[in-house]
């Protein structure tokens, strides 16, 4: 379906003279690249645009607002923290866009301040009033309550809150405390005493208990006060004889990226455990506090935390907006238009078979979740654990959740004496503590657990089951784009392949040997001179990037020879400068390139003489677009792949990733359709412009438009929207 052209809402990017075709030097111009951090902020802005959409009900808008707040937290804890570290270490190396760390940090700060202002304007002026109008939900200050309500929350404070509060002075004998990352705290300005014991004491702190509900219900259960407001209202009771003059709630975000020195510790597991314990001692990177907070309170905070003015965010509304997502539950009974939908069905090939092994033995099975059931993936490991004919199970786990059916099945299998090998990535960011616990449990059950490979994170999604059939071992394989997590499988779009093809299974077995033996691919095949040791799979960090560049180059050669050439790709992020330059060269040669990039995109489409043949679209909708699909060529020439890897340096060079060829013609057609529908989405889609901003696509006047997530799931069209949960994307 044709879509209306985007309406420009920002000035175009830097003008470049049209380069001569195939002039390589042009492709190194920094103006051809969008800064990674700024591109991510534009993605988060697109999520915020959903929160700003007045056509959505207030509870949906609140969900999207919650997601943007959670996303920003992780952005500061990792990306902004990384920029600050580079500045402290005097790093002068620049990415392809040519921006120094200082320049990036300044640009990020300006953009993030505008985004935060947009978040709070939306909450204050639109979403909060809509929640009250549509659902009777109110968030009040203690002084806005009726006398009876004030008495009730005062009783709640004394019974539930006061006993767990601890006042902390900040003076010569009481150093500034080590505040936990993202913890809420009340700062107080107290009058200075005349005696020695109080001399110089002006600021004290009271932590808001993290173990108590932040939303304190009042009366009808649809009126609330915030816990920090309740503490601030009665905080004077913690300082008898010292009247509280001024207070302000604040929140500190710290560097939470985990860095470990394996050589220093000798064992990666010990290093990760130590790093998790030390995390809350990371350097502060952001201070959030209430707008209008008195300088007598904020001044000492900024000085103690050693932050600069751009690091301070004064917000006109509740801190930690994502906590307000809990209010959505109150609206569930009011949703007249929401239709209860059953669980998605399994593919017919699975439904018609007696068990998962029979289904996969017959033919390859492509799953597209959440539109199809994730149960076949769970069943592969679950049935393997209890099947007496299964002799071995091998699986890579990256993020699997705290109540994983996969781990439970692997534990049963190991306890029953099966050969169970688990590669469990304990460096999966923010899941380290959870994964360390699984390492211990699996080891205790008798499984072989490996958690480190050649200084890389193991990010591929792969499982192998070896089953005896007629006395002959047969291997069953699952390969996918999403983590082994049934929770995210309901809210992330992902694709995966279940197969018993011997050629694929053999290479998956070699992959597990590589991981457990910690050998390079060249060592496995017995010769470093072999460029492609993997005939079917592409494996990072051993040649996946080079294989992608070769595939792009083949399309470039096709176009240069005057033949039809096409690249159709879907991914989460496009950052790698070599791949971007290869795409520019392909565009110059005449290759038609359509990219569906959910998040970061450092490529600039539409640059004269460089990227006129490149389109980049983005879809932000009820599900998080997470699958990676790549199609090179058209018609009979088309080669189709799914992958765990985005086109980023970290995926190519510092992670173990897989590129999986899809052979079944029907599966190839389905995968191409997924990307084509995303490119045609003019309801929830946007188009990237050359200046790095996005223009929302709109259907032609008088036409209903195409919403790709509805088109991919016809059963849900017109039947209400499924639940969207504010779960951030972590790879």
Query: What is the rounded distance in angstroms from the CA atom of residue 215 to the CA atom of residue 486?
Result: 29
Which residues pair with residue 450 across a beta bridge? 423
Which residues pair with residue 368 across a beta bridge? 495
Q: How far is CA 67 from CA 25, 493, 571, 729, in A?
A: 41, 17, 20, 10
User: What is the residue-wise DSSP string for 21-45?
Assistant: TT-GGGGG-GGGB--HHHHHHHHHH
Query: What is the rounded distance in angstroms from the CA atom of residue 715 to the CA atom of residue 507?
Result: 38
Query: What is the rounded distance in angstroms from the CA atom of residue 723 to the CA atom of residue 343?
Result: 12
Query: What is the rounded distance in angstroms from the CA atom of residue 4 to the CA atom of residue 150?
Result: 54
Q: Which of 459, 478, 542, 617 is catalytic?
A: 459
Q: What does DSSP say about strands 655-661 and 639-643: parallel, antiparallel, or unpaired?
A: antiparallel
Query: What is the rounded distance in angstroms from the CA atom of residue 44 to the CA atom of residue 53?
Result: 15
Query: What is the rounded distance in angstroms from the CA atom of residue 612 to the CA atom of residue 614?
Result: 6
Query: What is the rounded distance in angstroms from the CA atom of residue 471 to the CA atom of residue 100?
Result: 63
A 10 A CB-CB count for 696 gives 19
Q: What is the biggest distance separating any 2 CA atoms in the chain, rounded to whole angstroms?
A: 91
The radius of gyration of the chain from alpha carbons, rounded to an integer in Å, stands at 28
Does 113 participate in catalysis according to the annotation?
no
On whether the CB atoms of residues 34 and 575 are closer than 8 A, the answer is no
Query: What is the rounded distance in angstroms from the CA atom of residue 524 to the CA atom of residue 639?
Result: 27
Q: How far is CA 524 from CA 40, 352, 456, 507, 528, in A?
A: 38, 40, 18, 11, 9
Query: What is the rounded distance in angstroms from the CA atom of residue 593 to the CA atom of residue 642?
Result: 17
Q: Helix or strand or coil: residue 246? A: strand
Exposure string for 580-593, b = 16+ CB within 10 A, e = fewer: bbbbbbbbbbbbbb
- Tell the burial category of 156 from Cβ atoms under 10 Å away from its Cβ (0-12, 13-18, 19+): middle
On whether the CB atoms of residues 656 and 458 are closer than 8 A, the answer is yes
Element (H or E) spanning 312, and its range?
Answer: strand 312-315
Q: What does DSSP say about strands 365-369 and 390-397: parallel, antiparallel, or unpaired?
A: unpaired
On whether the CB atoms of residues 258 and 272 are closer than 8 A, the answer is yes
User: What is the residue-wise DSSP string for 336-381?
Assistant: TT-----PPPPPHHHHTSSSHHHHHHHS-EEEEETTS-SHHHHHHH
User: What is the residue-wise DSSP string for 147-162?
Assistant: HHHHHHHHHHIIIIIG
On whether the CB atoms of residues 184 and 249 are closer than 8 A, the answer is yes
Tell me which residue of 655, 456, 99 sits closest to 91, measured CA to CA: 99
Q: Which residues are catalytic?
A: 459
């Amino acid at each position: 379906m044709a879509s209306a052209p985007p309406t420009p809402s920002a000035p175009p990017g830097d003008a470049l003279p049209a380069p001569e075709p195939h002039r390589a030097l042009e492709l190194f111009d920094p103006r051809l690249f969008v800064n990674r951090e700024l591109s991510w902020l534009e993605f988060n802005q697109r999520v915020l645009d959903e929160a700003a959409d007045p056509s959505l009900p207030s509870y949906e808008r609140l969900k999207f607002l919650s997601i943007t707040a959670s996303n920003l937290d992780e952005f500061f804890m990792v990306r902004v923290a990384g920029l600050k570290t580079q500045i402290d270490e005097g790093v002068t190396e620049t990415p392809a866009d040519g921006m120094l760390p200082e320049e990036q940090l300044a640009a990020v700060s300006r953009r993030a301040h505008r985004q935060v202002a947009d978040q709070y304007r939306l909450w204050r002026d639109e979403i909060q009033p809509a929640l009250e109008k549509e659902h009777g939900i109110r968030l009040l200050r203690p002084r806005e309550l009726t006398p009876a309500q004030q008495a009730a929350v005062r009783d709640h404070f004394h019974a539930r809150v006061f006993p767990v509060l601890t006042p902390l002075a900040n003076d010569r004998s009481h150093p500034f405390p080590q505040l936990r990352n993202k913890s809420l705290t009340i700062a107080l300005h107290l009058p200075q005493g005349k005696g020695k014991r109080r001399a110089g004491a002006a600021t004290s702190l009271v932590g808001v208990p993290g173990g108590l509900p932040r939303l304190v219900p009042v009366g009808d259960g649809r009126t609330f006060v915030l816990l920090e407001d309740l503490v601030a209202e009665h905080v004077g009771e913690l300082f008898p004889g010292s009247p509280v003059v001024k207070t302000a709630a604040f929140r500190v975000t710290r560097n939470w990226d985990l860095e470990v020195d394996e050589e220093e510790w000798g064992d990666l597991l010990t290093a990760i455990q130590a790093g998790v314990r030390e995390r809350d001692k990371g350097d502060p990177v952001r201070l959030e506090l209430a707008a209008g907070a008195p300088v007598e309170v904020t001044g000492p905070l900024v000085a103690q935390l050693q932050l600069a003015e751009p690091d301070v965010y004064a917000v006109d509304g509740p801190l930690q907006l994502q906590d307000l997502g809990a209010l959505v539950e109150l609206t569930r009974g009011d949703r007249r238009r929401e239709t209860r939908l059953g669980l998605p069905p399994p593919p017919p090939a699975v439904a018609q078979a007696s068990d998962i092994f029979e289904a996969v033995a017959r033919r390859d099975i492509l799953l597209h979740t959440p539109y199809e059931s994730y149960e076949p993936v769970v069943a592969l490991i679950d049935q393997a654990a209890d099947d007496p004919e299964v002799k071995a199970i091998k699986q890579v786990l990256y993020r699997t959740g705290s109540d994983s059916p996969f781990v439970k099945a692997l534990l049963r299998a190991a306890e029953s004496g099966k050969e169970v090998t688990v590669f469990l990535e304990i460096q999966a960011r923010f899941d380290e503590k959870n994964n360390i616990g699984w390492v211990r449990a699996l080891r205790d059950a008798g499984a072989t657990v490996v958690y480190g490979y050649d200084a890389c994170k193991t990010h591929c999604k792969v499982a192998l089951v070896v089953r005896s059939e007629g006395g002959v071992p047969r291997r069953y394989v699952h390969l996918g784009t999403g983590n082994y997590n049934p929770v995210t499988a309901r809210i992330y779009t992902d694709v995966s392949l279940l197969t018993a093809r011997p050629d694929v299974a053999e290479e998956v077995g070699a992959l597990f040997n590589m991981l457990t033996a910690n050998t390079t691919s060249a060592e496995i095949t017995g010769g470093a001179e072999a460029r492609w040791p993997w005939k079917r799979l592409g494996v990072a960090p051993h040649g996946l990037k080079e294989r992608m560049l070769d595939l792009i180059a083949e399309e470039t050669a096709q176009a240069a020879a005057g033949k039809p050439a096409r690249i159709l790709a879907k991914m989460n992020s496009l950052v790698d400068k070599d791949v971007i330059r290869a795409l520019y060269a392909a565009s110059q040669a005449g290759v038609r390139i359509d990219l569906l990039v959910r998040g970061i995109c450092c490529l600039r489409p539409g640059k004269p003489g460089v990227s006129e043949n490149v389109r980049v679209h983005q879809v932000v909708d009820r599900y998080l677009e997470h699958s990676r699909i790549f199609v090179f060529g058209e018609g009979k020439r088309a080669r189709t792949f799914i992958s765990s890897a985005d086109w980023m340096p970290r995926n190519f060079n510092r992670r173990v990733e897989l590129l999986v060829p899809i052979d079944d013609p029907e599966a190839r057609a389905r995968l191409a359709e997924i990307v084509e529908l995303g490119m045609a989405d003019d309801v929830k889609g946007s188009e990237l412009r050359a200046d790095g901003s996005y223009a929302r696509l709109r259907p032609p006047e008088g036409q209903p438009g195409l919403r790709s997530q509805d088109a991919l799931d016809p059963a849900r069209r017109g039947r209400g929207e499924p639940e969207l949960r504010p779960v951030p994307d972590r790879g």
